[in-house]
Chains A and B, each alone.
Chain A
Amino acid sequence: MGLLALGTALEWPEAKKKAPQVRQWGIEQLLANWNRAKGKERDALLWGDEVEYLVVALDDGERKSRLSLAQADILKSLARDEALWKTGSCNNNNNSEHDGEDPPHFHPEFGRFMLEATPGRPWGIGFKDLLKVESNMKWRREVAKAHMASNEFPITLTTFPRLGTKDDYIQPYYPPSGPALRSQFVPDEIANPHIRFPTLAANIRSRRGRKVELNVPIFKDANTPRPFKDPTVNYDLHKWPEDDDVRNGAAKDDHVYMDAMAFGMGSCCLQITFQAKNMTEGRRLYDQLSPLGPILLALTAATPIYKGFLVDTDVRWNQIGGAVDDRTREELGEAPLKNDRWRIPKSRYASNSTYISQDPRLRKEYLDPDLVVDEGIKKRLMDGGMDELLATHFAHLFIRDPLVIFSEDLEELDVNKADHFENLQSTNWQHMRFKPPPPESDIGWRVEFRSMEIQITDFENAAFSIFIVLITRAILSFDLSFYIPISRTTENMETAHARNAVLDQKFYFRKDPFPRRAPKNAPLPNGASAFSSATSSAVNTPPPSPPLGPVESEYELMTIADIVNGCSDGSFPGLIPLVESYLNSVNVDVETRCFLATYLDLIRKRADGTLWTGARWIREFVAKHPSYKHDSVVSEEICYDLVKAVEEMTGKEGQQGSVGWEMLRGRKT
């Protein structure tokens, strides 16, 4: 999350009145920027990873682990060092391993117990760069750690297992139930104090008309009460009107109930952003990576605990969706439409709903037939020269209201900026994001892949980051198509939540990713056809010959093992064999190939079950803990031991039978 300038943030009733103006100005900024940047060409591949950390404080005396709210101090101290690095007056970078690398960047996040770190400079495709990713991630962790108290650690669990429990799980301690979040579980102080964040949380709640509502199914162990009624819910609070929510049935039986943005936006993710060669390539990557979102979500599953309970889902995704769901009852379809404009099927944080590539293989049938778009905005964009596919995409994102508006920004429209556009764009948290070049910069068209869960070790985080980079190169080199109807991707996203989905579930996936052989007198060999015209079969349909079969015959349900490693009957080749085949077509030096082999091996074995996902490892850790009573409760003691084990694992990485070997090595020696 980038930070906006400070100013006077409008409360919801005021913000709501200004929403149409912000949308309109945002669209004018988008059009101006699109016109400026649509011809931008030949940008190099640059990419970056974002790693997010929880800051935990370990109390070895009491055997307790708590979240540390020291974000501001840590960031201040980090910023001081970064400034010193820049002026070159600081020589404490005595780590020669990182010679020539810029010091990492650290950023605040929603949670005051979180940090985000990115490489100091984006990565290229030079294979030597790929080798630096893991060591750079480790460096970031060391740098972050160096700015923390000796008992504080940056760990990469997606969520803190006991966030929102009754005990003192934060340090310093604040009691819950503040005016912004009105949560009965977490205090307002859990959020970054920058005005943007409490305003965001308050306006989501206010727009929605009640608190956000997260119900995650409990994992039913032998001694779990049936029915399970979340024992941490207090039905007798009368401080805020929203305290009525639970008396009106917000907390459901057999579920763990949570009521604040912090339960979702306090999760750590692994996000990768790519710079494309031009807009055409960016649109293509946006489309082709989209079906991979749910697959990578299931492969990286690492979130089996909420609020001190084992739950029956493995990933964070829907909890974040629920945590920022600002839809009203009318928009949700729970009340007849009177004041609102439309029913909206998904949260602002959800799987994406559009395809945008001008690819002749994009069939009408793949698009969402029920996509909600703002027709006025779509018309304005098309009148401004934008093609229908892209105009539809943005007119869909702009059905939302801007949540945080600063009154100072509403005085004059500046089309050389993108602040109003970004207000909507960056609060549409879909699993893919298509990013126009920021005005007045050299940056090109970019695509962000957002579904992956953060992994406990940097070895895994590097492996998944690099895997996605290599997949994009294979997509572009082999001209692959992973198109399926986008509603199937939405279904896959739900499927990915199931406990052990990586091994137990099947996902819709395209059977044949290869292009049809080009006609003999094909025009240009490489993708050139893609920018030859503004029409595509999804918009303007003379079907390519020979005629295509029914869409349903193009895809089927596959296991993740089949999707990643290939079907044994040879039908789908497999993502890893595609990547290997790409690597066999380029000059890769021996050392790099060995490194890449260990990364690809991790992913191959996660997919076939030889290695455990983080979610499975955490479940097994809890199940085997001597104090676990098989009642789904993850006690303070278990949480402490778990966090200790995770911290140990970030260093030893499961080598020689150390903790986590089942997830990282597959053998004890």
Chain B
Amino acid sequence: MKLILSTSNIMKGGRPSVIRQPPTQKSNIELINSLHSNFLASQQPDTNGESNTNGSTNGSHPPPSTAWTLQGDDALYIPAIDFSQPGLAEERDQYDITVKLFYLPGIPVSRRCAHTREAIDLVLKELHVESIDLLIVSFPGILFDADDDSEEEESSSDQEADDFDSMVQTWRVLESLQEKGMIAQLGVAEFGSERLTRFLPHTKVKPSVDQINLKDCCVVPKSLILYAKQEHIQLLTHNDCNDILPVGTTRELLGPADKGAGILASSPDEKDGIQGDVEPQWVVKYTAVVKDRGVVENKGYFALADVGTCVKGRS
């Protein structure tokens, strides 16, 4: 079974993403917290009615998951999403819409074509738009290290490292979406200058953006700055970690008991929820910024996980 997790608009959700931490420290706290709080909020009875006088749900049990999730054709939406709500307040051309797609470690490259379509379709549906301005893809296992002048990009482990061919293969998919007009510009994340130099000749549509995380802002390898300038690639900053949604975290979020959403069983064989292994497939983050005002109007995440019999063997 597929599970589609969503945060809704985290800019308007209270206590969103603001965490007291060193500004350049990478983190997935924003994703985890906003999923968690969206689940909690969706479990509350409607608050826009006039009733609900004693406000709190202290001591009462959370409602059954059927009350706040939605079984769609092929997936369980957690929580239920009402796509009929308008996504943006103003006209499309007022916005810059950036989407970042995280391919997760250990998920076969062969699924990426479908995953990319799925993720982008959800974002387009949520925002009620027909195209996005920039799609940045994050490949698993690439770590850019600004301190490392040797320009060696480390892989977290050989097994999980994305090999070069698969990146090129994935890029073809993105190029075809770009050709169809769904995406205006493409970008990559965490590429050093060596990897960029190797990658560029294999592309029809060059990445316009390389998004890097800087531990100390002012240490960027000169070679990367020069190369990016020469190739007209904009270097942007981010603070996402690339293993953004590990399996354990997913089970915690969706499992039973106090902390979880009460969807999944506490372990694959327990009977306190949906049984079977859970396997997050991808995460997508979207941001809609009003161009000439710099206001972030809508920002959120979708994540897709397979559970139970749906978890395919990794070939």
Contact = CB atoms under 8 A, between A and B. Distances in A.
B297 A525 contact: yes
Contacts of B86: 524-525
A578 B214 contact: no
Contact of B217 (A547, A566, A597): A597
Contacts of A547: 55
A39 interface: no
A518 B12 contact: yes
B234 A589 contact: yes
Contact of B297 (A42, A125, A477, A514): A477
B292 A44 contact: yes
Looking at chain B's contact residues, the main secondary structure is loop
Contact of A516 (B14, B19, B23): B14
Nearest to A528: B89
A533 B239 CA distance: 39
Interface stretch (B44-52, B163-171, B271-279): B44-52
Interface in B78-128: 82, 85-90, 94, 96, 98
Contact of A587 (B41, B46, B53, B98): B98
Interface string B284-315: 00010100111111110000000000000000
Q: In which size bucket is the chain A interface?
A: 35 or more
Nearest to A527: B89
Interface stretch (A178-186, A368-376, A569-577, A648-656): A569-577
Interface string B11-23: 1111111111101
Contacts of A406: none
Nearest to B96: A587
A478 B235 contact: no
Given A477-B11, A478-B16, A514-B14, A522 B294 contact: no
Contacts of A594: 214, 217-218
A582 B296 contact: yes
Contacts of A124: 292
B46 A520 contact: yes
Interface in A614-636: none
A515 B23 contact: no
B237 to A, nearest CB: 5
B55 A546 contact: yes
A124 B237 CA distance: 21
A519 B19 contact: no
Interface in A465-487: 473, 476-479
Contact of B298 (A525, A546, A578, A582): A525
A589 B239 contact: no
Interface string B216-240: 0110100001000000001111110
A568 B50 CA distance: 37
B106 to A, nearest CB: 27
A545 interface: yes
A545 B236 contact: no
Contacts, number: 149
Contact of B89 (A525, A574, A586): A525
Contact of B294 (A473, A525, A597): A473
Interface in B1-50: 9, 11-21, 23, 37, 41-42, 46-48, 50
A527 B290 CA distance: 13
A581 interface: yes
A580 interface: yes
Nearest to B51: A545
A520 B47 contact: yes
Contacts of B238: 584
Interface string A580-618: 111111111111011001001000000000000000000
B42 A520 contact: yes
Given A520-B42, A525-B88, A527-B89, A593 B217 contact: yes
A517 B13 contact: yes
Given A517-B41, A587-B236, A589-B237, A581 B48 contact: no
Nearest to A127: B294
A277 interface: yes
A463 to B, nearest CB: 15
A150 interface: no
A573 B20 contact: yes
A122 to B, nearest CB: 12
A581 B41 contact: no
Q: Sorted from nearest, which 7 A-B pairs have the closest CB atoms?
A: A519-B48, A125-B294, A546-B55, A44-B292, A477-B296, A566-B20, A580-B23
Given A514-B16, A597-B218, 20 more contacts: A44-B292, A125-B293, A476-B295, A478-B11, A478-B18, A517-B14, A518-B12, A519-B46, A520-B48, A522-B12, A526-B12, A546-B52, A578-B18, A580-B23, A581-B17, A585-B296, A587-B134, A590-B212, A590-B217, A597-B217
Interface of A: 42, 44-45, 124-125, 277, 473, 476-479, 514-522, 524-528, 545-547, 565-566, 568, 570, 573-574, 577-578, 580-591, 593-594, 597, 600
